[in-house]
Amino acid sequence: MRSSGPATSASPASSSWWGVGRSSPRDHAPTSRESSSASTEPEGASTPRNYHLERVTREGGRETTPVRAVAVIPARMGSSRFPGKPLALIAGRPMIEHVMRRVGLSDALERVVVATCDIEIYEAVTALGGDALMTSPRHERASDRVAEVAELLDAEIVVMVQGDEPMTRPEMINQALGPFADPTVECVNLIARIQDERDFHDPNTVKVVRACDGRALYFSRSPIPAGSVAGTTLWQQVCVIPFRRETLLGFASLPPSPLERAESIDMLRLLEHGHTVQLVETTFGSWAVDTPADIARVEQLLAADDLISRYSA
């Protein structure tokens, strides 16, 4: 379980961002069945469509920046705590279907792709009319799997959304994209306030320490900051993580870092190699599925959810 409660949005002090605009998925056969490696986007790709980000400058003016954004959802069957969980049924639908359909409701995305090393997931997604690409089975980190797919994509921003987050909302995608109106932003990670002390001590909840200017200082599975936390805002990672495409490809070329291995957290590779991760507080809660016991809780939440009717008719 990795839950996050509602909160208020936050942005860097110097500017504020918001956005306003997507197209259908495109088919691609799994790489394991291709006769040669693809170096460009698959045939049948839809016409590019830009999403526009608007920034309020220090001088009070406004700048609009068009970007092309795609979402990539990494998913694999080999979870040690919950094998096969992407295909586990939640409210009668595979979990991966909930994630891809909810992400696909964002007007910011040109395309939503599931990245997987398992043919079972590939076939399930494509049978549902979704877009999937096969990847190497050797990846240890979700970000490396997403980076492999990003090499095939013609996009400026690649949004990684974890495949075990069936309560993800399209508004979260748009929130996470906002800071990219600033051309210096390389990577953004949504965060939420920790509402429950049990989550603070749960190693499945990745805690985040945030600088005054909104940068990530550290990610950990341990309860940080240590000591007395009275009056301190406690943050947790929410797994909606957009990268500039070149940053993501650069990430994959870097060797795994010592702290990344120690904590088993992708973002530490960026921090240890001197990159910046901008944090944005989300106003929406989420609930990750880490064990079979989490399914019942998610089904309760979906019973009162306003999005499920938009893709379950």
Would you tell me how many other CB atoms lie within 10 Å of the CB of residue 220?
19
Query: What is the distance, to the nearest Å, from the Cα of residue 144 to the centroid of all Cα atoms in its chain?
Result: 13
So what's the pLDDT on residue 285?
A: 80
Assess contact for 85 and 95: CB atoms under 8 A.
yes
Q: Which segments in the chain show pLDDT lower than 50?
A: 7-47
Kindly list the structural domains of the chain, giving each domain's residue range(s) and its CATH number in brackets, ordered by start. 2-18+49-307 (3.90.550.10)
Assess contact for 313 and 306: CB atoms under 8 A.
no
Closest CA to 298 of 6, 90, 89: 90
Assess contact for 75 and 139: CB atoms under 8 A.
no
Provide the token pair at 282.
Answer: 């989300």
> What phi, psi does 43 have (nearest 5°)?
-60, 150
Query: What is the distance, to the nearest Å, from the Cα of residue 207 to the centroid of all Cα atoms in its chain?
Result: 16
Alpha-carbon distance of 294 to 301, in angstroms, equals 11
- pLDDT tens digits, one per residue of 148-202: 999 999 999 999 999 999 999 999 999 999 999 999 999 999 999 999 999 999 9
How large is the angle between the packed helices 95-103 and 119-127, nearest 10 degrees? 60
Assess contact for 60 and 103: CB atoms under 8 A.
no
So what's the pLDDT on residue 100?
A: 97
Cis peptide before 225 (omega within 30 of 0): yes
pTM: 0.82
Residue 93 burial by CB count (10 A; 0-12/13-18/19+): exposed, middle or buried? middle
Listing DSSP states for 201-237 in one string gives: H-TTSPEEEE-TTSBEEEEESS-SS-S--TTPPPEEE
Would you tell me how many other CB atoms lie within 10 Å of the CB of residue 92?
8
So what's the pLDDT on residue 5?
A: 57
Alpha-carbon distance of 10 to 175, in angstroms, equals 10
